[in-house]
Amino acid sequence: MGVNISTQAVNQSGWTVKSKLDLAYIGTLGDKKSATKVGVAGYSAMDEIKVNMADSSAFSGSLGVEFKKDNKTFEVGYSLYSSKHETENRGTMSFKYNF
């Protein structure tokens, strides 16, 4: 479940400015754990590897702004993904020139 808020405006010098905010809650359905049994042919020894494949919930959010005029575009953004066992922060900057 999420929400997206964005705006767009054109200033007096002709630059289009777009801003956006995305927020999301991510719930997990189904199996979240995995188990794998490992053995070698001809031997009776077995081992089992158990791992958590996903957390039961996570939060994701991003914030960004874009500046565009004629064939030039500049973008700056930040995003966050966070759950019980993992957190990811990401900052981005980009420049695009179309010809």
Higher-pLDDT residue of 11, 30: 11
Rounded to a whole number of angstroms, the CA Rg of the chain reads 23
The separation between CA 3 and the C-alpha centre of its own chain, rounded to angstroms, equals: 14
For the chain, how long is the longest CA-to-CA vector?
79
H or E stretch at 51 = strand 46-52
- 65 has a pLDDT exceeding 90: yes
Look up the pTM and report it: 0.68
- 30 has a pLDDT exceeding 90: no
Residue 56 CB partners (closer than 8 Å, separation 6+): 27, 28, 32, 84
Which residue, among 89, 20, 36, has the nearest Cα to 60 in the 3D structure?
89
- 72 has a pLDDT exceeding 80: yes
- Condensed to tens digits (0 to 9), the pLDDT of residues 79-98 reads 999 988 889 999 999 999 99
Q: Which of 29-43, 57-71, 85-99 has the lowest mean pLDDT?
A: 29-43
Q: Where are the domains of the chain?
A: 2-28+56-97
